[in-house]
Structures are given as structure tokens and as C-alpha cells.
């Protein structure tokens, strides 16, 4: 039973396989004058706050809430530790709304105890480009869990999205509720196997020694593909063309223009790394790869406190084989001292995961759409979308 989700315009479990239902919006937009004008009520002693993530103090409060209360693995050994620079990048794409960065404070002490965000995005679902919100960073302080605060946070962000005349949303979660449009799996490629084993992120394989394991994951010192280099600002038009063509083959994918590419893909130190292949002969940009930086806190370990993880973002191969391109991505991640390189089985990633020695993780990641029904669940390889 899902007392909250059963009341929402989302695909319901009971409708799975009902061929009389059509794909597309579940509820029609209402006139903006009919959208509730006041915020939802919070329990006594709590108040809403709109977060100015550019303010150093505000950003610090959000950072601290997330660093102590955001997503952990099933065994509570690791917790995501988004950096402040990352949060600023993730929350301020072209056309963002400050009103969609929503906190909850204790009235008396002003302590921040809950958070949720939306950012605007154009997402293509099959043939239709839909202006929607991407919802992320839903977090309730550990001491306030299971008190039904999350549904209030979700209703409030929904109200503020409606006020901007948007009626759909995309989001991902590690847990199941009505109803995923796809279920994906994380894969992990060890770059620093000794540390990963020491902190319990991975285990020494059967009949493996530490020295054989280190040898197994060893990578070349430098990249292999001629013309492989960091993306620069003047590459934005070429990368945009490359990525738009590539993403058009997936059932669900962002509709990136040059402004989006500049924001989401231009390298930003310790936030987003992007590389491309410029043909040494024609100077054409033929291939592209990118990863974002999202470290984990290591909880309760005597000698290590941080795991540096790279996450595969958008990759496009037209001339360099994808396997070779991603091997070069692993090599630069190793040069930059990442401990692990993570990737979902979305887009064409399955074609390189096993061969490049990624191992399957234990967590799943479910993708969702709000107020948009899909007739069937998609395969991970039909998804061209990566959320942060």
C-alpha cells in the first residue's frame, strides 16, 4: 500500500499492462489561477525557506544537511557527499527557478531539517518534447523520518512547479513506489582496488590475492586515442550537434541545446569532466565522454573518510569504438586519483561494462515520470537520461 502515491497522477501498479490506457499526460493542466497560491501547511514549529544557493551560508546549510542525512547504501557504510560547487552546478542550469530550491527549518532554532529541489528541463519522451521538472535532493533529517514529511515536501514542490506552468516531472530513486518507467543497475570499475577493499566497498575475489587484484585493474599511464583532449568552450556547437544526434535514438532523453551543453558538459573542476576526440586529420569532433564527481563519506572507518567516485554521464561514439573511448575515460579518472568509476546500464553502456572490468553493484536505480503514463516499462538501454 502506498497511501500517498496512490493519490498522485502517476502510473499505478494496478494499471500495468492495461492496453486501454494511452501514453502521455494523466491529468490536463489547470488554469494557473486555480493552482493553490499558499504553501502547504507544515507541522507546528517548522517553516518553509526558499534557498539562495549562491549565498555561502545557505549553501553550507544545505551541504551539511545532505552530508549527514542524504542517501546511504543498504549497509550504512557509505553516504553521498555532494560538494557545494556540485550543488550550485546541479541546481542552477539555464532558466532555473530559485523558488524550486525548498528547505524546511525549525522555527525557533532556524536549523534546516528537510530539503527538496526541482530544476527545469526539456525531456523528449518518444516523439514529444515535454517541459518538465527534474526533482532531486529530497532529504528529511534522520530524527524526523517516517512522520509523513516527505509527501508534504513533494506536494509543495509540485505546487511551485505548477505555478511555472509545468505539469510533468522526472526523478530517480533507489526505492520502489508507483511506478518506475525503467529499473537500472549501477556497475563499478575499481581504480584503486586496495582502498576499495580496505574500506569494504569491494571484496577480494575468490582465489585472488591483493597483488593479482591490483594487476587486474591496472590501467595505462596515458590515454590511447589520438586527438583525445579536454572539451573547451569553442567545442560547444560541435558537441551539441554530436549529442543531439546521438540522444535522438533513445525513447526518453534530454533535448539539449547549446546553452544546456555549455552548462552541463563544459568541464568544471571536481564537478564535471568532459573529453572529446578531435580527428587529427579533419579536426572534426567525432566522439565525446563525460563523468561527474560525487564522493562518498566512508562511515566509521579508522583510516579513510572519503571515497572519490566518478559517475559516467553522457558518452557518444561515432568513430572511436565506445569501448576504447571509455577505456580512455577510465585512464583519465585514474590519473585524477578517483578510487572508483561508476556507470548505469543506460544507453549503450552494456556494450563496455563487462569487458572494461566493471562489476554489478547491489543497488538498483528506478526512473520515474510524474503525470505521464508509459504503456510499458523501458529497458535501461532505451533510456538516454542521467540524473545527478
For residue 173, the partner it binds in ligand YNC, Mg ion, none, with Cβ less than 5 to 8 A by kind, is: ligand YNC
For residue 249, the partner it binds in Mg ion, ligand YNC, none, with Cβ less than 5 to 8 A by kind, is: none
| Choice between 147 and 376, CB closer to Mg ion | 147
C-beta of residue 295 within 8 angstroms of C-beta of residue 308: yes
Binding residue (CB under 6 A) for ligand YNC from 78, 91, 136, 293 = 136
Stretch that binds ligand YNC, among 28-36, 171-179, 323-331, 378-386 (CB under 6 A): 171-179
C-beta of residue 344 within 8 angstroms of C-beta of residue 312: yes
Task: Give yes or no for residue 169 binding ligand YNC (CB under 6 A).
Answer: yes
Which residues from 340-379 bind ligand YNC, rule CB under 6 A?
370-371
Task: Give yes or no for residue 147 binding Mg ion (CB under 5 A).
Answer: yes
| Choice between 125 and 154, CB closer to ligand YNC | 154
> Whose grid coordinates read 555532494?
82
For residue 40, the partner it binds in ligand YNC, Mg ion, none, with Cβ less than 5 to 8 A by kind, is: none
C-beta of residue 86 within 8 angstroms of C-beta of residue 120: no
- Nearest Cα neighbor of 259 from 132, 51, 98, 92 is 92
Q: Which residues pair with 342 in a beta bridge?
A: 188, 311
Q: Are strands 306-307 and 296-298 parallel, antiparallel or unpaired?
A: antiparallel
Alpha-carbon span 166 to 160, nearest angstrom: 9
Task: Give yes or no for residue 24 binding ligand YNC (CB under 6 A).
Answer: no
Neighbours of 388 (CB within 10 A): 19
Task: Give yes or no for residue 142 binding Mg ion (CB under 5 A).
Answer: no
Task: Give yes or no for residue 179 binding ligand YNC (CB under 6 A).
Answer: no
Cα separation values, 91 from 34, 58, 225, Å: 28, 13, 34
Cis check: omega of the bond before 179, within 30 degrees of 0: yes
Cell output for 286: 567525432
Binding residue (CB under 6 A) for ligand YNC from 22, 37, 146, 211 = 146
Task: Give yes or no for residue 173 binding ligand YNC (CB under 6 A).
Answer: yes
Could you tell me the smallest distance in angstroms from the CB atom of residue 49 to ligand YNC? 17
Binding residue (CB under 6 A) for ligand YNC from 53, 65, 90, 140 = 140
Alpha-carbon span 189 to 327, nearest angstrom: 11
Alpha-carbon span 225 to 242, nearest angstrom: 18
Question: Of residues 325, 369, 383, 388, which has the active-site annotation?
Answer: 388
Cβ neighbours of residue 306 closer than 8 Å, sequence gap 6 or more: 81, 295, 296, 297, 298
Burial 67-94 (b: 16+ CB within 10 A, else e): eebbbbbeeebbbbbbeebbbebbbeee
C-beta of residue 104 within 8 angstroms of C-beta of residue 48: yes
Say how many residues touch ligand YNC, by CB under 6 A: 35
| Choice between 132 and 261, CB closer to ligand YNC | 132
Which residues from 208-267 bind ligand YNC, rule CB under 6 A?
none
| Choice between 67 and 214, CB closer to ligand YNC | 67
| 388 assigned to active site | yes
Classify 89 as helix, strand or coil: helix
Task: Give yes or no for residue 149 binding Mg ion (CB under 5 A).
Answer: yes
Binding residue (CB under 6 A) for ligand YNC from 150, 163, 214, 299 = 150
Binding residue (CB under 6 A) for ligand YNC from 94, 120, 151, 380 = 151
Binding residue (CB under 6 A) for ligand YNC from 4, 46, 48, 217 = 4
The length of the chain is 388
The interface mask with Mg ion, positions 93-132, x = CB under 5 A, is ----------------------------------------
For residue 70, the partner it binds in ligand YNC, Mg ion, none, with Cβ less than 5 to 8 A by kind, is: ligand YNC
Classify 78 as helix, strand or coil: strand
Question: Active-site residues: which are they?
Answer: 388
Contacting residues toward ligand YNC, per CB under 6 A: 2-5, 69-71, 133, 135-140, 145-151, 154, 157-158, 161, 166-169, 171, 173, 175, 177, 370-371
Binding site for Mg ion (CB under 5 A): 140, 147, 149
Amino acid at each position: 500500500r502506498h497511501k500517498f502515491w496512490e493519490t498522485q497522477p502517476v502510473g499505478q501498479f494496478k494499471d500495468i499492462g492495461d492496453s486501454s490506457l494511452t501514453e502521455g499526460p494523466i491529468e490536463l493542466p489547470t488554469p494557473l489561477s486555480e493552482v493553490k497560491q499558499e504553501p502547504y501547511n507544515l507541522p507546528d514549529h517548522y517553516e518553509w525557506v526558499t534557498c539562495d544557493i549562491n549565498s555561502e551560508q545557505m549553501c553550507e546549510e544545505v551541504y551539511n544537511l545532505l552530508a549527514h542525512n542524504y542517501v546511504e547504501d543498504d549497509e550504512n557504510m557509505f553516504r553521498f557527499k555532494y560538494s557545494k560547487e556540485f550543488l550550485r552546478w546541479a541546481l542552477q542550469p539555464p532558466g532555473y527557478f530559485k523558488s524550486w530550491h525548498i528547505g524546511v527549518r525549525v522555527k525557533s532554532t532556524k536549523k534546516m531539517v528537510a530539503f527538496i529541489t526541482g530544476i527545469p528541463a526539456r525531456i523528449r519522451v518518444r516523439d514529444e518534447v515535454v517541459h518538465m521538472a527534474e526533482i532531486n535532493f529530497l532529504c528529511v533529517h534522520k530524527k524526523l523520518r517516517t512522520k509523513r514529511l516527505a509527501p508534504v515536501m513533494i506536494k509543495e514542490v509540485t505546487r511551485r512547479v505548477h505555478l511555472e506552468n509545468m505539469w510533468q516531472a522526472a526523478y530517480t530513486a533507489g526505492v520502489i513506489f508507483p511506478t518506475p518507467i525503467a529499473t537500472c543497475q549501477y556497475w563499478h570499475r575499481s581504480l584503486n582496488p586496495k582502498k576499495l577493499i580496505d574500506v569494504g566497498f569491494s571484496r577480494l575475489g575468490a582465489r585472488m590475492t591483493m597483488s593479482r587484484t591490483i594487476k587486474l585493474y591496472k590501467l595505462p599511464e596515458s590515454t590511447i586515442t589520438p586527438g583525445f583532449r579536454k572539451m573547451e568552450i569553442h567545442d560547444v556547437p560541435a558537441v551539441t550537434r554530436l549529442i543531439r544526434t546521438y540522444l535522438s535514438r533513445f525513447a526518453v532523453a534530454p533535448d539539449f541545446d547549446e546553452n544546456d551543453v555549455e552548462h552541463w558538459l563544459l568541464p568544471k573542476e571536481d564537478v564535471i569532466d568532459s573529453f572529446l576526440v578531435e580527428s587529427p586529420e579533419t579536426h572534426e569532433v567525432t566522439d565525446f565522454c563525460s563523468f561527474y564527481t560525487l564522493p562518498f563519506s566512508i562511515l566509521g572507518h579508522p583510516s579513510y573518510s572519503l571515497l572519490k567516485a566518478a559517475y559516467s554521464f553522457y558518452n557518444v561514439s561515432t568513430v572511436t569504438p565506445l569501448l576504447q573511448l571509455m577505456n580512455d575515460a577510465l585512464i583519465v579518472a585514474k590519473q585524477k586519483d578517483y578510487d572508483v568509476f561508476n556507470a548505469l546500464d543506460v544507453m549503450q553502456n552494456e556494450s563496455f561494462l563487462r569487458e572494461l572490468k566493471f562489476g554489478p553493484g547491489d543497488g538498483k536505480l528506478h526512473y520515474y515520470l510524474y503525470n505521464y503514463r508509459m504503456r510499458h516499462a523501458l529497458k535501461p538501454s532505451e533510456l538516454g537520461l542521467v540524473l545527478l
